[in-house]
Amino acid sequence: MVANDVYYVGANDSERRIFDQLIPLPDGTTYNSYIIKGSQKTALIDTVDPTKKQVLIDNLKKLNITKIDFIVAHHGEQDHSGCISDVLNYYPMAKVVTNQKCKTELMDLLLIKDEKFFVIEDGQEISLGNKTLKFLFTPWVHWPETFVTLDIEDKVLFTCDFLGSHFSFNSQEGLFTNDKDVIYEPAKRYYAEIMSPFRNNIRKNIDIVESLNFDIIAPSHGPLYNGKDFIKFIINCYKEWSSEEVKNKVLITYVSMHGSTEKIIEYFTQSLLKKGVIVKSFDLSVADVGEIAMELLDSATAVIGTPTVLTGPHPSAVFAAYLIRALRPKTKFLTVIGSYGWGGKIIDFLTNMFSNLKAEILDPVLVKGYPKDKDFDLLDELADKIARKHKALN
């Protein structure tokens, strides 16, 4: 039980290892759904991924839920909305409570009919009798339609993806996180992969959340947070991650086919370390996207290392550049280092991919064949420049 007559009816997915066919899930995940039983009406807060439909239905049956008046849909993505149609089949009297943007998404994605919706405005309230739900729009955490719901009397804030984590747990053993060290990395990974492109919106929405009176944060993924200490912990984490502050750190993502680029990366890494710069290096042939995203969060500089493939960068390097472009980090400097045989357009290709970013593009170092003394000198010069620019930031 989350609070008085507020119950968890979600599903654990401890075996799932990839999300959106892109994001690794080393700790699995959960799809959190909640039932709120008021003295007059009952509300379901979000549903679950379609693969866990029966878990949700069984949980509702165990609670003897014979009527649902409202299905609150915070977000159109199917890991939360995917079972709305199924719930409507079991509880045809229910109305889908959401905003206009989410209504449009749900009609497009799930083919729910117009008459099944109850459209809300920002700040609107709905009474369940002895409980009141207040809806506050928090756009771009992480889609344009997202909002949160406050159960005013029970002081429970339902945040959907906002403040969540991909971290599986057994609801029978407990709903609330009790170890900050355990949940920190899953929460940071989740933020980095999903929320980080929207840090300006995150800061605004944190202000909205902090203006509310609540004792429990109930997200749609991962464990819940209760008590001032744990609530302050996750909110402060989001404040730090969404700030514009960066560390004296270089993120290097690279791929090497025949050893030349690998040697370049090894030398460049040591040169940076000698100058007091922290280096986080990832071989793209085996790297975890989530780990790259986490290190990108606060790296002052990002470097892509690549050999030349058919006059262009290696496809893995293109993916890394696209990831940086998509996540829109607060990174201040970007550059490219690598190798070629007879020629190519690595630099133009990759720097063009960074055109949407505000970071300064530093002069790249491209080596013909295996690196030689003059190439090592250029790498030292680049490392010197990065160290100086990092120092100037501070």
Going from the N-terminus, what domains does the chain have, and what CATH number goes with each? 6-242 (3.60.15.10), 250-393 (3.40.50.360)
Q: What is the pLDDT of residue 354?
A: 93
Q: What is the pLDDT of residue 343?
A: 78
Q: Taking residues 58-74, report their average pLDDT.
A: 98
Contact between 83 and 56 under an 8 Å Cβ cutoff? The reply is yes
Measured CA to CA in angstroms, residue 259 lies from 282, 307, 318 at distances of: 15, 9, 19
Contact between 179 and 236 under an 8 Å Cβ cutoff? The reply is no
Sign of CA dihedral 283, 296, 289, 365: negative
Backbone torsions φ then ψ of 348, nearest 5 degrees: -60, -45
Give the Cα separation of 355 and 341 in Å (integer): 27
**Does position 341 have pLDDT exceeding 90, yes or no?**
no
* Count of beta carbons in the 10 Å neighbourhood of residue 130: 13
* Count of beta carbons in the 10 Å neighbourhood of residue 178: 11
Sign of CA dihedral 71, 74, 80, 83: positive
Taking alpha carbons only, the member of 393, 251, 389 closest to residue 323 is 251
% of the chain with per-residue pLDDT over 90 = 97
**Does position 344 have pLDDT exceeding 90, yes or no?**
no
% of the chain with per-residue pLDDT over 70 = 100
User: Any residues with CB less than 8 A from the CB of 182 and at least 6 apart, and which?
Assistant: none
Chain-centroid distance, C-alpha 147: 16
* pLDDT tens column, 195-210: 999 999 999 999 999 9
Contact between 65 and 27 under an 8 Å Cβ cutoff? The reply is no
Contact between 19 and 166 under an 8 Å Cβ cutoff? The reply is yes
Q: What is the pLDDT of residue 54?
A: 97
Residue written as tokens 């190519």?
A: 344
**Does position 342 have pLDDT exceeding 90, yes or no?**
no
Measured in Å, how far apart are the chain's first and last C-alpha atoms?
48
- Characterise 79 by phi-psi region: left (phi > 0), alpha (psi -120 to 50), beta (else): alpha
Q: Taking residues 42-61, report their average pLDDT.
A: 98
**Does position 394 have pLDDT exceeding 90, yes or no?**
no
* pLDDT tens column, 347-361: 999 999 999 999 999
* pLDDT tens column, 94-151: 999 999 999 999 999 999 999 999 999 999 999 999 999 999 999 999 999 999 999 9
- Characterise 358 by phi-psi region: left (phi > 0), alpha (psi -120 to 50), beta (else): alpha
* Count of beta carbons in the 10 Å neighbourhood of residue 336: 23
Confidence of residue 158 (pLDDT cuts 50, 70, 90): very high
